[in-house]
């Protein structure tokens, strides 16, 4: 499964025929990777990919004129972070693209089973199996 392209927030400001909607990195009631000492860019991007795939499963493929991507936010005090986003063409002939973009902004509450499998299969650190050392008696 291909990963979605990452586009900087600065670059998105230069696309005059496109608007975009920030969706977020995870479903509404899930915890996301937090900026700080233990921040993992890989985990943050995996969350975004998993969310995009789940939104496509729930809403269908985006229509012509709309495209999911991962938005790289650069203006945070603690560093850059990533969010799933969707861009759409503002030309009125792509009206379905705009409606789709605002439809997928309504996030699911939780990861679905395929999103959880995707995260686990891609070594998402929250789902790593802990190693337990057992001492044998004797």
Q: Which residue has the higher pLDDT, 9 or 20?
A: 20
| Predicted pLDDT at 6 | 79
SS3 113: helix
Strand-pair partners of 71: 7, 83
Cα distances from 133 to residues 83, 136, 137, 138, in angstroms, run 37, 10, 13, 16
Element (H or E) spanning 66, and its range? strand 66-73
Give me the chain's average pLDDT, please. Answer: 85
User: What is the three-class DSSP state of 99?
Assistant: helix
Q: What is the pLDDT of residue 73?
A: 83
Average pLDDT over residues 38-56: 90
Tell me phi and psi for residue 5, to 5 degrees: -70, 150
Q: What is the pLDDT of residue 28?
A: 95
Say if residue 36's pLDDT is above 70: no
Range 32-36 average pLDDT: 79
**Each residue's pLDDT tens digit, 89-136:** 999 999 999 999 999 999 999 999 999 999 999 988 876 544 445 566
How far is CA 109 from each of CA 7, 50, 106, rounded to the nearest angstrom?
26, 14, 9
Are 23 and 105 in contact, with CB atoms under 8 Å apart? Answer: yes
Q: What is the pLDDT of residue 131?
A: 46
């Amino acid at each position: 499964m291909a990963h979605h392209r990452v586009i900087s927030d600065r670059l998105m400001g230069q696309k005059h025929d496109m608007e975009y909607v920030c969706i977020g990195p995870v479903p509404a009631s899930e915890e996301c990777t937090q900026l700080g000492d233990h921040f993992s860019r890989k985990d943050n991007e995996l969350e975004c990919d998993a969310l995009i795939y789940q939104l496509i499963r729930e809403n269908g493929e985006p229509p012509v004129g709309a495209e999911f991507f991962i938005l790289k936010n650069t203006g945070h005090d603690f560093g850059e972070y990533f969010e799933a986003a969707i861009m759409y063409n503002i030309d009125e002939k792509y009206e379905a693209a705009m409606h789709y973009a605002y439809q997928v902004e309504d996030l699911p509450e939780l990861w679905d089973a395929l999103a959880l499998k995707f995260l686990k299969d891609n070594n998402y650190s929250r789902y790593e199996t802990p190693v337990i050392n057992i001492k044998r008696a004797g």
